[in-house]
Amino acid sequence: MGDESPRGKNDAPEQVPATTQALLLLHHQLFDAPPATLQVSDLQAWHAVLGAALGIRAGAWRTGDVTFGSYYGLPPSEIDAAVHATYAHANEHLDYLSYLPDAADRLEGVVMVSAYVHARLIRIHPFEDGNGRTARLVLTGQFLTAGFDPPNLSRLSRDVYLSALNRYNHLGTDDLYCPALDPLKKVILDLL
């Protein structure tokens, strides 16, 4: 059996070395040069690297319907607009945070925005596969861009993580301040 991702889906044994190598490459790129803002082109490029390792249609929006857990991803026709809107909304808040003088306030804001973007990407489910891995890379990048160490995702509890995402998927709105994001924010804070 291969390595298990936090959502519980196993990589095939032959995929594990390539997936690990792709994730390490992407993490090194993020640490060396964090993106100035969230860019949809970066999301697709990171997924392309990861997707090539998984042997899937890489870097392109999915074309079919998808379910994960008890939730349906957005219809393929809505993916591009939803990802762009999520990133635009998040970038507005990240720009504002960069002007806050207090590091604790900036960190609180980055946790809030990263939880929002992560939950939205999982809900949108833009790719055929690799959505969680790609969303976790985006989360790492947001912390690095803001000048903070990213959460230690190796300590991530799969059950707590999935419970937080399920709460958002069933109760959340597109609002950055949605209370359904609180469990995911706690997950992120616990990993700092």
Residues in the chain: 192
130 annotated to a ligand binding site: yes
Q: Which of 47, 89, 118, 125 is catalytic?
A: 125
Q: Is 51 annotated as a binding residue?
A: no
Q: Is 10 annotated as a binding residue?
A: no
132 is in an annotated binding site: yes
- List CB contacts of 117: < 8 A, sequence separation 6 or more: 38, 86, 87, 90, 135, 138, 139, 142
Residue 135 annotated as binding?
yes
Q: What are phi and psi of 55, to 5 degrees?
A: 70, 35
The partner residues of 4 in beta bridges, in order of sequence, read: 10
Beta strands in the chain (DSSP E): 67-68, 71-72
Look up 27 and say whether it is catalytic.
Answer: no
Residue type at 87? Answer: Y
Confirm or deny that 152 is annotated as ligand binding: no
Distance CA 16, CA 20 (A): 6
Report how far residue 117's alpha carbon sits from residue 121's, in angstroms, rounded to the nearest whole number. Answer: 6
The binding site for ATP consists of 129-136, 169
The binding site consists of 129-136, 169
Enumerate the active-site residues. Answer: 125
